[in-house]
Chain A
Amino acid sequence: METLWLEIILMITVPGIIFILVMGLFIDWLDRKVYARGQNRRGPPFLQPLYDIVKLTAKETIVPKGVSKFWYTVLPIMFILTAITGALMIPISILDNTDSFIIGFTSFKFDVFFVLFLLLSYGLLIYFMGYITKNPYAQTGATRSLLQVLSFEIPLGFAILVPILMVGKDRSDFILGEISKKVYTAVGENPWFIIGLVIAFCVSIVVMMAELEEFPFDSPIAHTELADGWLVEYGGWRYALIRLGERFGAFFIGGLIVTLFLGGPYLGNTLGLNPYLGFFVHLVIFVVKLILVVALMSFLRTLISRIRIDQSVRLAWKTILPIALVALMLTIGFKLI
C-alpha cells in the first residue's frame, strides 16, 4: 500500500509529470538558445518558454467556420496525452532499488515495441490535426507531415532493433529499462557491437529531427511556404497544448535515444547506492545525457538549409534506410559470431 502511494506521488512530481513539464520547457529554451548561439544571436531569456505558454493560454480562441469543434478540441488534447504517455515510459529514476533495473511509470513487458506504435500515432495525430482544419496550407502541410513520418518510421524501427538485438536473450522481457541497463554490458562483452550502435545512434538522431519537424526537415511547417503548415488554424490554449505536446515529444524521443543508445540513467554500476542518493544520481545522469542529445540536435539544425519534401523522402528511402539496414545486419553478424 505504501509503495503505491509513493509511486503515485513520484508519478505526479519528480520523475513524473511535473518533471516532464519543467524539462519540456527547459528543452524548449535550450533548443532555442543553442540554435541562436549557433547563428550568432543572443537567444531568449531562460523563462521565455513559460511566458509563451502563459501568454498563449490568455489569447482568444477562434474556431474556424465549418470545422468540427469536437475534433478541433479533442485532437490537441490527445496529442499532448500521447506525448505524456510516451514520456512516462522512459526509465528515469526510481526511489527504491528492490527491482533489478529502473522502469518507467507506464512501462510493461515488450514496451520497446509499443514505443514504436506511440511514435506512429504521434505522427498520425499531426496529420489529423492538420486535416480537420480544412485549410489548404494545413492540408498540404499535414500530407507532407504524414509522408515524412511514414518514410522515417522504417529506418527508426531498424535503428531501434540494434540495441534490442544486442541486449536480447532467450528469456528477455524487452523493457526499455532493461535495455538501458544492459547496453553497456553487451558492448563490454562484444566490443564489435559499438559499430552498429554508433551508426544506429546517428540514424536515430536524424530520424528524431524528422519526427519533430525540426529545421532541415521542417517542410510540413515551412514558415515561408505554408505559413506554419498544419498549425495555421490553431490558436489560444489549443496552440499552447500543441506547443507543449511538441516539447513533450522532444523529451520522449530524446529520452528514447538516451535510453536505447546511451545507457539511460546508468553510468557504470550505481545500483549499490543508498536509495535516496541513487535516485538523485540517476536523475542527474539522465538529465545530462538528455541535454547533450538535445544540444547536439539543435546544433545540427544550424548547419544546413531546409530540405524539400521530395528530397527528404528520397533521403529517407535511399540513404538513411540502407545505412540503418547495414547497422542492423552488422549487429546480427556480430551476434552470431
Chain B
Amino acid sequence: MAEDFRSRFRVLTDGSDAPLGADHHIFVGPQHPWAEEPAHFIIHVKGERVVEANIRIGFNLRGMEKAMEARTWRQNTMLIPRACGICSAVHQNVYVRLVERLAGIEDQISERARLIRMFSCEAERVHSHMLWYGILAHDTGFDTLFHVTWRDREIIMDIVEDISGNRVNPALMLIGGVKRDLPKERADKARPMINDLIKQVEYHKKVFTEEASIVNRLENVGVLTKEDAKKLTPNGPTARGSGLPYDIRKTFPYELYDDIDWNLVYYTEGDVLATTLVRLDETLESLRMLNQILDRLETASGELLQRVKPRISEGKYMTRAEAPRGEDIHYGIANGTDKPERYKIRAPSLGNIDATLKRMDGEYIADMPVILRSYDPCFSCTNRVMIINQSTGEKKIMGQDEFALKAIKAKKYNRPFF
C-alpha cells in the first residue's frame, strides 16, 4: 500500500518534478477566478488529459494557534469560530466540548443547551452544502442554478440570523452551555421557512439529477473507487460518495445525535455526481433534523449555562465532529492556568486533498474545476503550519528558535507576528 502512494503536496512549483509522459504544466492559483481561496495547483497534462495533479498550500497562514496560546480559554471561544468562514459553529462546538471535558463538566450540560448547539450545527451544514452546490453549478457553467440556489440559501441564513443575531458566524456556544435561548416564537417563525426550504432543496435535487447537460458534466467524472478511497482516507461527503459510510455523528455520536432519528447518506458510485447527491440528501436530512430539534425544544428544559472556573486543570484531550466538509479534529493541552499550553486544529479539507487530486488522474482539463471543487476546498482553515520560507528560490526550514526570535521581535516592535 505504501509503495503506490505518492504524496501530492509540493513545495517546488516550477514543474521540475513532473511525472513521465507529461508535456505541459498548467498552474492554477493562488490567483484564479475558479478559486476564491489561495492554493496553488500544478497540473501536469498530456494533450487534454491530466497525468498528475499536485498542490502547494500555505498562502494563508493566520497564526491562529499561536494567537490562542496568548488568550484565555474563555476568550478563545470567540476566536475559534474564525478558523473557517463557513463552518464556524462546528469549530466552536468541538472546542467547547474539549474544554468541558478538560474542566470535567461534560455531563452537566443540559438537554436544552445541547439541542440548541445541534440546531446551530445543522443549520450551518444546510447553508454550507447549499453554498457548495451553488458554486459547483457555477463551475460547470450553469449560472442560473447558481443564482437560484443562492437565492434559496437566504432562507436558512434568515433563520440563523433570527436565532443568533449573525448570519454566518452564530457563535451561540459557550463553555458550559449556550449563550442565548431559542424561544418558542422564534421556533414557530422558523418552522414554515424550513418546510419551504425542504421543497426548494428537493427541486434543486431534481435539477441535478434530471437536467441532462449538468448530469453530463458530473456523471462518471473523477471517479474515486472504494479501494482508492480506503488507501487515501478521505472523510466527510467525499468518502461517503465513494461508498465509505463514515460519519462522526453516527460512528462516534456526540451531543444528542444518537437520540434523533436521521439516516446516514452514502453513495457507491464515487464520481462527482455521487458526492453532489450525498450533499443534497444530507441537506434534506439536516432540514428534517432541524424540525425534530424544534419539536423537542418545546419540552426540553434545563439550565442554559453552567458555571465553569476560568482555570482549566492540567490535561490533554482530543475531540472531533462532523463538519460540513468532513471530520474536524481538535487537540488541546491545558497546563492548569487559564490559557491553553498548545492547541491544534485539523480542518477537514486537509484530509481530502490527496483523494481529490487522485480523482484528477486521466481526466480532461475541462473537468478540473468540477473535480477540484468536489471536496469543498477551504484553505483558510487548512493552513496551520508554516514550514518553509521560499523567497529567492532557496529552501529554508524555520526552526523553533527562529520562530521564537520572530515572536520576540514582533512583540518588541509591536508588529503582527507574520
Which A positions have Cβ atoms within 8 angstroms of B?
A: 38-41, 136, 140, 215-216, 218-219, 222-225, 227-228, 302-311
Q: With an 8 A cutoff between CB atoms, is B137 at the interface?
A: yes
B377-404 interface code vs A (CB 8 A; 1 in, 0 out): 0000000000000000000000000000
A40 and B214: CB pair below 8 A?
A: no
A304 and B211: CB pair below 8 A?
A: yes
Q: Which residues of A contact B33 (CB under 8 A)?
A: 223-224, 227-228
A306 and B26: CB pair below 8 A?
A: no
A263→B258 CA distance, assembly (Å): 70
B141 and A227: CB pair below 8 A?
A: no
Known: A38-B144, A218-B141, A305-B140. A225 touches B213 (CB 8 A): no
Known: A225-B34, A227-B32. A305 touches B147 (CB 8 A): no
Least CB distance from B218 to A in Å reads 9
CB within 8 A of A305: which of B24, B142, B366? B142
B36-61 interface code vs A (CB 8 A; 1 in, 0 out): 00000000000010000000000000
Chain A residue, CB-CB nearest to B213: A304
B252-274 interface code vs A (CB 8 A; 1 in, 0 out): 00000000000000000000000
A41 and B147: CB pair below 8 A?
A: yes
Q: Which residues of B contact A228 (CB under 8 A)?
A: 33
B366 and A219: CB pair below 8 A?
A: yes
**Pairs A–B under 8 Å by Cβ, sample size 13:** A39-B144, A39-B147, A40-B148, A40-B151, A41-B147, A223-B33, A225-B365, A303-B144, A304-B211, A305-B142, A305-B213, A306-B142, A310-B48
Q: Which residues of B contact A302 (CB under 8 A)?
A: 143-144
Q: Which residues of B contact A225 (CB under 8 A)?
A: 34, 365-366, 368-369
Q: Which residues of B contact A216 (CB under 8 A)?
A: 141, 213
Q: Which residues of A contact B214 (CB under 8 A)?
A: 304-305
Least CB distance from B386 to A in Å reads 28
Known: A224-B138, A228-B33. A311 touches B216 (CB 8 A): yes
B137 and A305: CB pair below 8 A?
A: yes
A305 and B148: CB pair below 8 A?
A: no
Chain B residue, CB-CB nearest to A310: B364
Known: A39-B148, A136-B24, A227-B32. A305 touches B365 (CB 8 A): no
Q: With an 8 A cutoff between CB atoms, is B217 at the interface?
A: yes
A154→B215 CA distance, assembly (Å): 28
Chain B residue, CB-CB nearest to A227: B33
Q: Which residues of A contact B151 (CB under 8 A)?
A: 40
Most B Cβ at <10 Å: residue of A38, A223, A305 = A305
Least CB distance from B275 to A in Å reads 17
Known: A136-B24, A304-B211, A305-B217. A224 touches B147 (CB 8 A): no
A302→B138 CA distance, assembly (Å): 12
A222→B142 CA distance, assembly (Å): 11
B141 and A306: CB pair below 8 A?
A: yes
Which 4 pairs from chain A and chain B are nearest by CB? A306-B141, A305-B142, A304-B213, A39-B147
A216→B143 CA distance, assembly (Å): 10
B213-227 interface code vs A (CB 8 A; 1 in, 0 out): 110110000000000
Q: Which residues of B contact A222 (CB under 8 A)?
A: 141, 366
Q: Which residues of A contact B368 (CB under 8 A)?
A: 225
Q: Which residues of B contact A38 (CB under 8 A)?
A: 144
Which residues of B (136-187) have their CB < 8 Å from a CB of A? 137-145, 147-148, 151
Least CB distance from B166 to A in Å reads 25
Q: Which residues of A contact B212 (CB under 8 A)?
A: 304
A302→B139 CA distance, assembly (Å): 15
B147 and A40: CB pair below 8 A?
A: yes
Q: With an 8 A cutoff between CB atoms, is B111 at the interface?
A: no
Chain A residue, CB-CB nearest to B146: A39
Which residues of B (224-266) have their CB < 8 Å from a CB of A? none
A309→B211 CA distance, assembly (Å): 19
A38→B144 CA distance, assembly (Å): 7
A215 and B147: CB pair below 8 A?
A: no
A219→B139 CA distance, assembly (Å): 11
Least CB distance from A279 to B in Å reads 40
Chain B residue, CB-CB nearest to A144: B366
Least CB distance from A146 to B in Å reads 14
A212→B369 CA distance, assembly (Å): 23
Q: Which residues of B contact A218 (CB under 8 A)?
A: 141
Q: With an 8 A cutoff between CB atoms, is B106 at the interface?
A: no
Q: With an 8 A cutoff between CB atoms, is B367 at the interface?
A: yes
A40→B34 CA distance, assembly (Å): 23
A303→B144 CA distance, assembly (Å): 7
A306→B136 CA distance, assembly (Å): 12
Q: Which residues of B contact A41 (CB under 8 A)?
A: 147
B143 and A136: CB pair below 8 A?
A: no
Q: Which residues of B contact A309 (CB under 8 A)?
A: 366
A225→B34 CA distance, assembly (Å): 7
Which residues of B (80-123) have their CB < 8 Å from a CB of A? none
Which residues of B (341-365) have their CB < 8 Å from a CB of A? 364-365
Chain B residue, CB-CB nearest to A136: B26
Chain A residue, CB-CB nearest to B217: A305
A39→B147 CA distance, assembly (Å): 6
Q: Which residues of B contact A140 (CB under 8 A)?
A: 365
Q: Which residues of B contact A305 (CB under 8 A)?
A: 137, 140-142, 145, 211, 213-214, 217
Q: Please name 10 further chain A to chain B contacts, defined as beta carbons within 8 Å, in addition to the given A305-B217, A306-B217, sorted by A numbering.
A: A40-B148, A140-B365, A223-B33, A224-B369, A225-B34, A227-B34, A302-B143, A303-B144, A304-B211, A306-B141
Chain B residue, CB-CB nearest to A306: B141
B142 and A304: CB pair below 8 A?
A: yes
Least CB distance from A69 to B in Å reads 25
Chain B residue, CB-CB nearest to A218: B141
Q: Which residues of A contact B143 (CB under 8 A)?
A: 39, 215, 302
Least CB distance from B117 to A in Å reads 34
Least CB distance from B220 to A in Å reads 13
Q: Which residues of B contact A224 (CB under 8 A)?
A: 33-34, 138-139, 141, 369
CB within 8 A of B217: which of A39, A223, A227, A308? A308
Q: Which residues of B contact A306 (CB under 8 A)?
A: 140-142, 213, 217
Q: Which residues of A contact B26 (CB under 8 A)?
A: 136
Chain A residue, CB-CB nearest to B218: A305
A170→B364 CA distance, assembly (Å): 51
Least CB distance from B122 to A in Å reads 27
A224→B151 CA distance, assembly (Å): 21
A270→B24 CA distance, assembly (Å): 61
A307 and B138: CB pair below 8 A?
A: no
A311→B145 CA distance, assembly (Å): 20
Least CB distance from A310 to B in Å reads 7
Q: Which residues of A contact B138 (CB under 8 A)?
A: 224
Chain A residue, CB-CB nearest to B147: A39
Chain A residue, CB-CB nearest to B142: A305
A124→B411 CA distance, assembly (Å): 61
